[in-house]
Homo-oligomer: A and B are copies of this chain.
Amino acid sequence: MTRKMWGLIPVLNCSQLLKLCAPQCKPSVCPITTPALRADSPLRTMSDQAFVTLATNDSYAKGVMVLGQSLRNHHTTRKLVVLVGPHVAEPCRDALRSIFDEVCVVDVMDSGDAAHLSMMKRPDLGVTFTKLHCWTLTQYSKCVFMDADTLVLSNIDELFEREELSAAPDPGWPDCFNSGVFVFRPSNETHEKLLAFCSENGSFDGGDQGVLNSFFNTWATADISKHLPFIYNLSSIAIYSYLPAFKQYGHDAKVVHFLGKVKPWHHSYDAQRGEVKGHSPSPDLCQLHPDYLLMWWQLYAKSVLPLMQQAYGDTPFSSGFVEANEDEEVKLHEDAREQPAPASAPPPQISSEERKQRWEAGQIDYMGADSFANIERKLDSFLK
B176 touches A242 (CB 8 A): yes
Q: Is A347 located at the chain interface by the 8 A CB criterion?
A: yes
| A-B pairs with beta carbons under 8 Å apart, 7 shown | A116-B244, A204-B244, A221-B229, A262-B367, A280-B369, A346-B369, A359-B376
Please state the number of chain copies in the assembly. 2
> Which listed residue, B246, B347, B354, B374, touches A173 by the CB 8 Å rule?
B246
Q: Is A339 located at the chain interface by the 8 A CB criterion?
A: no
Which residue of the partner chain B has the closest CB to A382? B365
Q: How far is the CB of A65 from chain B (nearest CB, A)?
A: 22
Contact with B along A268-297 (1 / 0, CB 8 A): 000000000011110000000000010000
B368 touches A173 (CB 8 A): no
Given contacts A245-B204, A348-B369, A371-B378, contact A364 B229 (CB under 8 A): no
A374 touches B366 (CB 8 A): no
Q: How far is the CB of A147 from chain B (nearest CB, A)?
A: 16
Q: Please give, as numbers and ranges, the residues of chain B lying within 8 Å of A348 by CB-CB distance.
A: 369-370, 372-373
List the one stretch of A23-31, A43-51, A86-94, A230-238 in contact with chain B: A230-238
CA distance A176 to B362 in the complex (A): 15
Within 8 A of B (CB), among A338-384: 345-349, 351, 354-359, 361-383
Which residue of the partner chain B has the closest CB to A224? B224
Interface size class, chain A: 35 or more
Within 8 A of B (CB), among A163-208: 168-176, 204-206
List the one stretch of A53-61, A118-126, A129-137, A321-329 in contact with chain B: A118-126
- Besides A175-B229, A346-B370, 12 other A-B contacts (C-beta < 8 A): A168-B174, A169-B174, A171-B241, A172-B245, A173-B246, A175-B231, A206-B244, A260-B365, A262-B365, A351-B373, A355-B380, A359-B376
CA distance A172 to B351 in the complex (A): 24
CA distance A220 to B346 in the complex (A): 38
Given contacts A120-B244, A224-B221, A367-B260, contact A238 B172 (CB under 8 A): yes
B378 touches A370 (CB 8 A): yes
B174 touches A230 (CB 8 A): yes
Given contacts A172-B171, A249-B173, contact A281 B379 (CB under 8 A): no
Given contacts A204-B247, A367-B279, A368-B262, contact A373 B361 (CB under 8 A): no
